[in-house]
Structure 1
C-alpha cells in the first residue's frame, strides 16, 4: 500500500498520462493524489484508467486554479479499503483500513495556498480538522511553507516570519515532519542559471501514534520531471518479487516495417484442425515471435526507463547533497528547543 502525492501543474500536457502511469506502476503506488489539476470536474473513467487506477474522487479547482484528483486501486487481493471522509477547497481526507496490519488511520492530501491573504484561514481550518481527529493520521501535500531557512536556496532571504505557520501547526497538532530520502528539494523555480530558487515545499507529516504503527516506512522525494514540483511517496514495505508481466501489444511496433513482415509470415503458417484451433495456434505463434522480436529490437523499455529515472535521481541528489548537512543540523537544533 504505497502512497504518493504530486503537484502536477495541470493535466493537459502531452504524454502526461503515460508519465503518471509509469511513475505509479514502477513505484507500486496504490493511492495517489495530484493537485493543481486546473479542473472543475471529476476525472473521466478513461482518464482514471489511463493513469493506472480504477477509482477516483476529487476536489474541484476554482476556475483554472487549484483542484485535487484522488486515485486508488481496488482488486480481488486488496490489502486496504478507502473511504472519503471530508473534502475542503484545499484538502481531502480519507479513512484507510489497512487490512494487512488490522489498522485504521486518516490520510489527508493537502494543497496549501501560496497567496498570503488565504493562508491564515487555511491553516486554521486544517489545524481544527486534525485536532478533532480520533484516528492516527498521515498528511501529504504541497504545504507552500518551509520550517527553516535551510529548506530554501536562492531568491529572497528567508525571514523568521516565513517559517512560523508550519512550525506552529506541527507544534499545535503534535505531529512530526517525516525524514526523507532522494532528491533534496521538492520545488524549483528556473530563472537564469545563477538565479534559480529551490525549496522543500512538499512534505509528509504524521502523528506519533501513526509513526509507531509503521516503523519501517520510507518517505521519498523523487526526481523532477515535467512539473516544477517533484513527486513524493511513502512506501510501507519492500515490494514482493513481481511476476513476469502479461503479454501486451505495443503501438510503437506498428511503426516498423519488419514487424508487419513478421505478422504476415506468422499468419501464413498452416495448422491442421478446426478454424478456432488454427486461429488460436496462429495467435500463440505470433505472440512468441513478437516477444523475441521486441526483445531484440527494443529490449526491456520499462527497465531502461527505470534505470534512466534512477540516474536522473542520482544526478539531482548529487546536486543537492551539499545541503543535507545544513538541514540535519537545523533539524537537530529544532528538536532541542
Structure 2
C-alpha cells in the first residue's frame, strides 16, 4: 500500500521502517536530483547523508518518530545525540519528537512533566541544534476533540545545526493543513522566494575609524541649504546618508570580500616560497584589522552587548543575528475570519486594516453632549489672569 502510494507520487527511491504492531513506522522517499546514502536506521529513526546534484552541497538528515513513553524517549535522545556526533555533517533532525520545549507549546487539560521538557531541551542544546519554528499555526498535533476536551501540542518540528543554517539562511518551515491525521505535515523550503524590500540605512560602528568617512561627512555637512534650522538639519542628514551609501557601493569596505582577497594574496606568496618579509607582514596586519571590523559589524547587528570585541567571536555574532532575525520576522498575521496572511503584501493589508479600525470612529454623534455635566474648574476671573500678556515683572 505504502509503496504503491510512493510510486503514484513519482518518487524514485525510498526506505521504510516497518510498523511495530499498530504504532511507529517511518518512510523516507526522494526524487531524482539528489544522492542519498543510508547511515543507520532503527525503529524510531532513519539517518542519511544527502548530496544535492545541482550544487554539490552535502548535509545529514535524520527523520524521527520518537516514543510517547518519557523514559524510552530519554534513551532515544541519547542514541540520537551519538548518531549526530558520529555523522559530523551540516545536520537536519526533523519529525515527530513527541515532546515539547515549554508548557506554552501545549493547550488543553493537564501539563507536561518538567522532566520531559528538560530532557528535550538538553538534547537540543547538547547537540547544538536550533529550532526553525514554523509558519501559519502554533500546534502540529490535536486529539481531534472539541471544546474543553480539546488538546493541542507542538510535537513536530525541524531542528538544524548552525552550519546548516549558515548554508541555507533563507529557509522556511510551513505547517500544512492536516487531512485525516491527528498530525499536521511540515514543509521545509530551503530556497523560498524572498520579497525584497528597501534596506534601511544605518551608520556602522566599524566606519568610525576610517579617515575617508570623516571627509565624506564633513563635505556633506558643509553644504549650504536655505530654510528653517530643522529643515537644514534634515537636508544635511539626508545628504550625509546618500553620500555614505554612494561611498559604500564603490569602496572595498566589504570585510568578507576583503578578507578573501587578502587570503588569496597570502596564499599566492606562500606558493612562491615567500613566508615572511615586509609584504607578508603588511598583509597579515591588514587581515587582522579586517577580521576585527567584520566581528564588530556582526556584533552590532546581533544586539549582543555582553561579549567584548577582539575574541574572534564573528561566527557567534553572525549566528546570533540570524537567530534574532528569525525571532523578529513577522511570518503571519490573522485576518478577522480566522485565516492567515503569509505573504508580505497580505500581512501589510492585515496590519493596515487593524489600525484603520482602531483609529476610526464608530460613533459619529457630537461628543460635546458627553461633557455637558462636567463642572468647570477654571473660573472666568482665573481665565482672564491666565490670558494676560507676559511682562518682565
TM-score interval, smaller chain: 0.5 to 0.7
Match of 2:298 in 1: none
Q: Output one character per residue of 1:197-231: Cα deviation in whole Å (capped at 9) or x when no partner.
A: 00110010011001000011111111122101000
Is residue 2:177 matched to residue 1:223? yes
Q: Does 1:67 align with 2:25?
A: yes
Query: Following TM superposition, by how much is the alpha carbon of 1:316 offset from its aligned partner in structure 2, in angstroms?
Result: 6.3
Contact 1:183 1:222 in 2 (8 A): no
Residue in structure 2 matching 1:177, options 131, 135, 156: 131
Question: CA–CA distance in 2 between the matches of 1:181 and 1:133?
Answer: 29
Q: Measure the CA separation in 1 of the matches of 2:103 and 2:74.
A: 21
Deviation at 1:192? 4.0
Unaligned runs of 5+ in 1: 1-10, 12-42, 240-310, 319-337
1:110 to 59, 64, 67: 64
**1:229-269 residue CA offsets vs partner (Å, 9 max, x unmatched):** 00001102247xxxxxxxxxxxxxxxxxxxxxxxxxxxxxx
CA shift digits 1:39-62 (9 cap, x unpaired): xxxx43x33212332311111221
Secondary structure, aligned partner of 2:177: coil
Structure richer in strand, relative to its length? 1
Give per-residue Cα distances to partners, 1:165-201, cap 9 Å, x unaligned.
1100011111101121122210011334222000110
Q: Which consecutive aligned stretches of 4+ in structure 1 deviate over 4 angstroms post-superposition?
A: 314-318
Stretch of structure 1 that moved more, 206-215 or 130-139? 130-139
Contact 2:95–2:158, Cα closer than 8 Å, also in 1: yes
Matched, 1:125 2:83: no
Q: What residue number does 2:50 align with?
A: 96
Report how far residue 133 of structure 1 moved: 2.0
Whole-angstrom CA distance in 2 between matches of 1:157 and 1:59: 31
* Residue 164, structure 1, aligned to residue 122, structure 2: no
Q: Say if 2:108 is the partner of 1:154.
A: yes
Identify which of structures 1 and 2 has the higher relative contact order when contacts are C-alpha pairs closer than 8 Å and 6+ apart: 1
TM-score by length of 2: 0.48
| Greater Cα radius of gyration, structure 1 or 2 | 2
Match of 1:195 in 2: 149
When you count helix as a share of all residues, which structure comes out higher?
2
With over 3 angstroms needed to count, the CA separation of the structure-2 counterparts of 1:197 and 1:223, relative to structure 1, is same
Gaps of 5+ in 2: 194-333, 342-393
Q: CA deviation at 1:116?
A: 2.7
Q: Is the 8 A contact 1:148 1:163 kept in 2?
A: yes
Equivalent residue, structure 1, for 2:12: 54
